[in-house]
Amino acid sequence: MRFLRKALVASAFAVTAIVMGTSAYAEDVKIGFVVKQPEEPWFQDEWKFADQAAKEKGFTLVKIGAEDGEKLMSAIDNLGAQGVQGFVVCTPDVKLGPGIVAKAAANNLKLMTVDDRLVGADGKPLEDVPHMGISATKIGEAVGQAIVDEMKARGWNADEVGAIRVSYDQLPTAVDRVEGAISVLKNNGFKTSSIFDAPQAKTDTEAALNAATVVLNAHPDIKKWVAFGLNDEAALGAVRASESVGIPAANMIGVGIGGADSAINEFKKPQPTGFVGSVIISPKRHGYETSLNMYSWVADDKEPEKLILTSGSLAKRDDYQKVRKDLGLE
Ligand code: FCA
């Protein structure tokens, strides 16, 4: 009898859902999307595509920028207080992992991460929290390959070139990205001694500029440089640093990761700069798809995949429009 009643209730619910044209009650669904650096074009794009998902499905999207741990913790309480059922987050600090999980649970919120994966006290990823990130090592390798190809096109010899590794080693995806690039450089003749670490305090252009300037000033004897880091801002910061010490664009090769406005604006400049390319990743997948996955989790109890890794495509000045179009970003 109990079973029968359950089945009846379930089918009544299913009928209602079909009549509504969507599952559950979209207008009751509220989803949070919290990012660590709201002013960064990549995160603006993620939000834009998350908004698109909200519009299509009819749920409410609550966007919050949280630049540090304290802001993130109060953002989660804030979401709970607003009656949000789940949120997607790119945290300012992955080591806050267990605290974020606990805060989400205390507020009865479903939790998914994007871009930066939470780690536990042992530094290992929290595998229970569904995550969408980029295939960091592979994308780093694509950066390294783009640099090597450009060096060949310019007739450079690895012996005469310095490499700036703009680094943010507290973030595992950042380490994987730069190490991917370095593996390709080394396979193409770069010695460890000509790869210089430039640790940045934040993942923005200014911090990268400051870090790269230190390296350039320490090696005035090296005239040709390549640079890479975790995102476009890292590579751009190194390029700005090279300009500030008088290195011409012809002697600089920076390749970034992202492909949002930071890179596009650079490609649009009338004269080419040392920022040669960017491996474009997909803010559509990271914003739209994560939001949809959270929506299905809340509305239909459909748990998202635990780990989704997305790919990237190299773009340069002359083909970025086509690459963006092919990725559904135009
Ligand atoms: C990290 C970086 C961002 C972006 C994202 C995919 O969060 O800080 O710039 O590259 O991964």
For residue 71, what are the CA distances in angstroms to 37, 62, 68, 76, 195?
12, 15, 5, 9, 36
Q: Specify the 3-state DSSP secondary structure of 252.
A: strand
- Atom 2 of ligand 1, residue of closest alpha carbon: 231
Q: How crowded is residue 321: how many other Cβ atoms within 10 Å of its Cβ?
A: 13
pTM of the model: 0.92
- CA of 257, closest atom in ligand 1: 10
pLDDT of the chain along its 330 residues, tens only?
444 444 444 444 444 444 444 555 677 999 999 999 999 999 999 999 999 999 999 999 999 999 999 999 999 999 999 999 999 999 999 999 999 999 999 999 999 999 999 999 999 999 999 999 999 999 999 999 999 999 999 999 999 999 999 999 999 999 999 999 999 999 999 999 999 999 999 999 999 999 999 999 999 999 999 999 999 999 999 999 999 999 999 999 999 999 999 999 999 999 999 999 999 999 999 999 999 999 999 999 999 999 999 999 999 999 999 999 999 888
- CA of 286, closest atom in ligand 1: 6
CA dist., res. 128 & res. 198, Å (int): 33
Q: Specify the 3-state DSSP secondary structure of 105.
A: helix
Q: What is the DSSP string of 259-319?
A: -SHHHHHHHTSSS--SEEEEEE--HIIIIIIHHHHHHHHHHH--PPPSEEEE--EEEETTT
Tokens matching residue 18 = 């079909």
- Atom 5 of ligand 1, residue of closest alpha carbon: 115
Strand partners, 164: 196, 227
Q: What is the pLDDT of residue 329?
A: 86
- Decide: 40 and 259 in contact? Cβ < 8 Å: no
Q: What is the pLDDT of residue 25?
A: 67
CA of 115 to the centre of ligand 1 (A): 6
- Atom 8 of ligand 1, residue of closest alpha carbon: 203
Q: What is the DSSP string of 10-39?
A: HHHHHHHHHHHTSSS-GGG-EEEEEES-TT
CA dist., res. 244 & res. 7, Å (int): 71
Q: What is the pLDDT of residue 112?
A: 98
Q: What is the pLDDT of residue 49?
A: 97
- CA of 116, closest atom in ligand 1: 7
- CA of 233, closest atom in ligand 1: 9
Q: Is the CB of 231 under 6 A from ligand 1?
A: yes
What's the Rg (C-alpha) of the chain?
A: 22
- Atom 6 of ligand 1, residue of closest alpha carbon: 115
Name the one residue in this structure whose structure tokens are 């990761």.
257
CA dist., res. 76 & res. 10, Å (int): 32
Q: Is the CB of 230 under 6 A from ligand 1?
A: yes
pLDDT digits (tens, 9 = 90+) for 91-123: 999 999 999 999 999 999 999 999 999 999 999
- CA of 133, closest atom in ligand 1: 6
CA dist., res. 139 & res. 146, Å (int): 11
Q: What is the pLDDT of residue 17?
A: 44
Ligand 1 pocket: which of 39, 117, 257 to mutate (most atoms <8 Å of CB)?
257
Tokens matching residue 230 = 């975790």
pLDDT digits (tens, 9 = 90+) for 250-259: 999 999 999 9
- Decide: 242 and 216 in contact? Cβ < 8 Å: yes
CA of 281 to the centre of ligand 1 (A): 10
CA dist., res. 233 & res. 56, Å (int): 31
Q: Does the CA dihedral 130-138-192-196 come out positive or negative?
A: negative
